[in-house]
Amino acid sequence: MTQKDHYTPKSQAEIETIPFVSAEEAWFWFIQAQQAREEGARFAMGLGLYPRPCEPLDILKILDRLYRKRELRMDHALVLRHYGRRLLPPDPDRIKERRAHQLWIEALGMIEMVLVSKGLVHPPVSCRGHL
């Protein structure tokens, strides 16, 4: 390694990233990143604890695209935001959270399909095949 290489930042393609395990994990990461940004944090590729395969804005764009295609409704977005800020999914065993849980599952299911297709989330175990 030359001295020049030592000080040259790595491009995104050179950084080994860790895909999310699920859409839920990606969503909670996105919410935390948005909250940090609102509090004045600045983001740079590869400086997080785990280098992720996308930026928080990429998750927002996916949500926006699904909403514009009318696949996600405002009810989905409100549930995602509310429970995302709590960092806890709705509890299907609580009567007052059953509808929210249904919306949560629907929304994350749609988001996960996009995230998996983009390689941002590992495919579900049932889709990986048998070894």
Tell me the average confidence (pLDDT) per consecutive run of 10 residues in the chain, 131 residues long: 51 69 94 86 59 86 96 97 96 97 97 94 66 45
pLDDT the model gives residue 43: 59
Instruction: Give me the phi and psi of 121, to 5 degrees please.
Output: -130, 140
Asked if 56 and 34 count as a contact pair (C-beta separation under 8 A), the reply is yes
Please report, for the chain, the start and end positions of each structural domain, with discontinuous segments joined by +: 17-122
pTM of full prediction above 0.85: no
Residue 54: its pLDDT value, please?
Answer: 86
The CA–CA distances, whole Å, from 61 to 17, 39, 67, 127 equal 20, 21, 10, 25
Asked if residues 100 and 83 have their Cβ atoms less than 8 Å apart, the reply is yes
What local confidence, expressed as pLDDT, does residue 11 receive?
47
pLDDT at 10: 47
Count Cβ atoms within 10 A of the Cβ of residue 5 and give its class: 0-12 exposed, 13-18 middle, 19 or more buried: exposed
